[in-house]
Structure 1
Amino acid sequence: MSLLLALAAQAAAAQPAPAAPDYRKDATWLCLPGRADTCSAPLPTTALTRAGYGSNGQVRPATGAKIDCFYVYPTVSQDRGLNSDLVANEEKGAAASQFARFSSVCRPFAPVYRQMTSAAIGAAALGRDIRPNFDIAYGDIRSAFRDFLATRSKGRPFVLVGHSQGSWLLQRLIAEEIEGKPVAGQMALAIIPGFNVLVPAGKTVGGTFKSTPLCTRTGQRGCVVTYVSYRTNNPPPPGALFGYAPAPGMTVACTNPAALGSRGWTNLDSYWPTRSNLPVPGGPIRWSTAGAPPTPFVRTEGLASGRCVQDGQRGYLEIRTNVTPGAKWTDRIGGEVGIGGLFIPGWGMHLADVPVAQGDLLRLVEAVSR
């Protein structure tokens, strides 16, 4: 709680948000295709299996990609104030971890925007009205998207990609700028985990979106992939920020990225950052009995499994770790959000939303690119 109070105090002493960016200028974009930037980084990665470390690989941006990806990063800024400045710091790390791999299947676009900062989240938790700050962030994303359509994508199909605050902003963008408009025909897919999408229980449309359905099969176009992650045997408590709908009759949508339309357990294709300093329940992860990871990322296939759970107002992707006696890979994964030595129960495995199924998400983009 002391950290939360400190963030709120920081926000109270904030300076006004900087002037709006001009997205006609390449400098206001964190990632652009064909440029040496965060999304063209190689991301050295090692396969981690039950037998230990395997082959090494790197990300190679696609040549001749048939589809574009427009990414909005999550809440990462530690800037003073309720809205961030336009100098990319923590934002680069988020884009590298969450989005750079998408450059292997699509042309990457990621605007720098005046996002709501960590201080704003702390202030909101203590009752401050941050709607004006959300409007500032959304205004930037809307401007960037309009420039993307008008001058950069030029009629190509696109995929929206976000997480957390990024997914929240993209929800509004879909509702206001895409649904019911000709551009809806260009949206091949929206991948927006980490923020509640509401639907009537048993339905695939309605609630958050009027006409954009949940994806129920691989290769389906014009639909939404969404989920919030919780560790098995630890479901969202009533009133949780993520995974619990605010009213009876509605539920939080879940689409399992490894098996769209399924409610069964499915192995997940994961890409984990190995050098993160974020707290993990049980302490730092020992990735393998064979020693420390040789690269900043490891890929695991089947270490984690997921299934969608719909239980009244609850809706979430349940995550379990598949422990195999004698295996050389870890029996633990992280993802919970820790503040002041405590993990927030209503946020679930929020930090694992993207890495736990990143390989599966990449295949979904490939499927709508054909």
Structure 2
Amino acid sequence: MVRAFLYFVATMIVLVIIGTFALNYWSDKATEIAFVPNTEFVEQDPLADNAYADPDMWYSRPGIGTADPARYQPAIAETQNPLPRSENEGTLVEQASKAGSRRITSEEEEKAPPFAVFFVHPTSYIPTNLDRDIQWNARLGDKETEDRARLFLRGLASPFNRAAEIWAPKYRQATVGAFLTDKPEAEQAIDAAYGDVEQAFDYFLESVDKDRPIVLAGHSQGSLQLLRLLRERIKGRPVEKRIAAVYAVGWPISLDHDLPVLPLPACERANESGCILSWSSFADDGDPTQLLKRFRASPGFDGKPRGDTPILCVNPITGFANSTAPADDNKGTLVPSEDLTSGELVAGAVGARCDQQGILRIGDPPAMGSAVLPGENYHVYDIPLFWRNVQEDVVTRVREWAAANS
């Protein structure tokens, strides 16, 4: 299980190499040629009405047992030494391993009322035209795509592993190129992916205890699909009152043109329930231009251009918006060793502050390996950077929801 997160990082390194080459050396047009399908959009057959009754349609769900990728639990590094800021000083885990590590014991776990998590994974269908013709949507059963999704879940969904139930569906996601073009086929592909997510959510609702609080979580494309789910399937319905928290991480949310349309507010307090958390991580001198360019040119959830408006930033260390926290308050970053043979939670590795744009700045980051995107974009690490704080944050919000609804 220790290697689970590391396989995730190793996979992302390959993607970063592709992304770095595309963003740094190719023109925007060449990047589009490489990643955007050159085929027509082909609508896939609808799933059967009872498709999600099949356990094989889920990466995570009750009954999977030790094979469930979302149930990964890393060791904790025991070190109080200063943390390295460059590879020349050694990695965090190399330093931590000298002091030893331990597992979290049951006595350390704060109890929370039973809750259910619905997690939508990020884009794992990442082919290029250099390899083969790209389809606009992934096909179910594509081994490379589904293996990659499982790896992502081990690194991104595991902080929610104190839930009584974690459900993470397979869905015919839009290819990565759908987010690099204005072609109408891109929107069709994203819409098609949403149809599967909504159907999976309906089955999830039928399957969980009707009084159990719900946490929605996702990353990148997964967060985009969750935000639509909030607007179209949850807003104004009884299930809205059951949402203890929404973790829509790695997808910008406009404060002026998106948030007012959503049924839940941004999280303003660390002990608030029924609210939304979102953040996008960059080093202090990182450049978020690529992240914001297409987002700001597209219409908001209210139908109006987003323009140069700030985005939602809820600091995952403090648990509330537009705040600052030192590294000492970070209870555990999930980091790999240099050779990717081990991984542990290291406390105090990185701080965080929300800047005026709504970007989460993480200072001068420690040595985290090669999976950092161009512009010192720590998108890959949005959740692992704050793994332990997120794990505790969700328990706090569920406990607050339970107290308010007892």
TM-score normalised by the shorter chain: which range applies?
Answer: 0.7 to 0.9
Bigger relative contact order (CA 8 A; separation at least 6): 2
Unaligned runs of 5+ in 1: 276-285, 287-291, 323-329, 338-342
Contact 2:317 2:325 in 1 (8 A): no
- How much does 1:170 deviate? 0.4
Whether the 8 Å CA contact 1:303–1:321 is kept in 2: the answer is no
Q: Which residue of 2 aligns with 1:283?
A: none
1:83 aligned to which of 131, 137, 140? 137
* Separation of aligned partners in 2, 1:239 and 1:319: 16
- Identify the residue that residue 398 of structure 2 maps to in structure 1: 369
Is the 8 Å Cα contact of residues 236 and 244 (structure 1) preserved in structure 2? Answer: no
How many residue pairs get aligned? The number is 330
CA contact under 8 A between 1:194 and 1:242: conserved in structure 2? no
- How far apart, CA to CA, are the structure 2 residues paired with 1:321 and 1:59? 32
Equivalent-residue separation in structure 2 for 1:65 and 1:151 (angstroms): 18
Other-structure match for 2:33:
5
Q: Is the 8 A contact 2:118 2:166 kept in 1?
A: yes
Match of 2:234 among 178, 181, 184: 178
Q: CA deviation at 1:316?
A: 1.0
1:52 corresponds to 2:96: yes
Normalised by the length of structure 1, the TM-score is 0.77
Letter in 2 for 1:69: V
Shift of the 44–189 alpha-carbon distance from structure 1 to 2, 3 Å rule, reads closer
1:255 aligns with 2:282: no
Counterpart amino acid of 2:96? G
CA distance 1:301–1:58, shift in 2 (3 Å): closer
Letter matched to residue 151 of structure 1:
S
TM, length-normalised to structure 2: 0.71
**Is contact 1:196-1:242 (8 Å) kept?**
no
Partner of 1:24: 53
Is the counterpart of residue 188 in structure 1 residue 244 in structure 2?
Answer: yes
Contact 1:306–1:320 at 8 Å: present in 2 too?
A: yes
- Determine which of 280, 295, 298 is the counterpart of 2:344: 298
Of Structure 1 and Structure 2, the greater strand share is in: 1
Deviation digits for residues 174-215 of structure 1 (CA, Å, limit 9, x no counterpart): 111112221111000000110011113xxxx96453441000
Say if 1:221 and 1:26 are closer, same or farther in 2 by CA, change over 3 A.
same
CA distance in 2, matches of 1:144, 1:355: 26
Report the CA distance between 1:163 and its aligned residue: 0.5
Does residue 240 (structure 1) correspond to residue 300 (structure 2)? The answer is: no
Q: Percent identity?
A: 24
Match of 2:326 in 1: 266
Superposed CA RMSD in Å reads: 3.3
Q: How much does 1:127 deviate?
A: 4.3
- Cα distance between partner residues in 1 of 2:32 and 2:334: 27
Counterparts of 1:223-234 in structure 2 under 5 Å?
A: 223-234=275-286
- Provide the rounded CA distance (Å) in 1 between the counterparts of 2:198 and 2:313: 26
Query: Equivalent residue of 1:256, what SS?
Result: coil
Q: Which has the higher helix share?
A: 2
Question: Deviation string for 1:215-235 (max 9, x for gaps)?
Answer: 011221110011111110224
Q: CA deviation at 1:335?
A: 5.3
Over 3 Å counting, the alpha-carbon distance change for 1:62 and 1:128 in structure 2 is farther
Q: Contact between 1:70 and 1:109, CA under 8 Å: does it hold in 2? A: yes
Unpaired runs of 5+ residues, structure 2, are: 1-25, 82-94, 128-133, 298-304, 400-406
User: 1:35–1:75: structure 2 CA closer, same or farther, 3 Å change rule?
Assistant: same
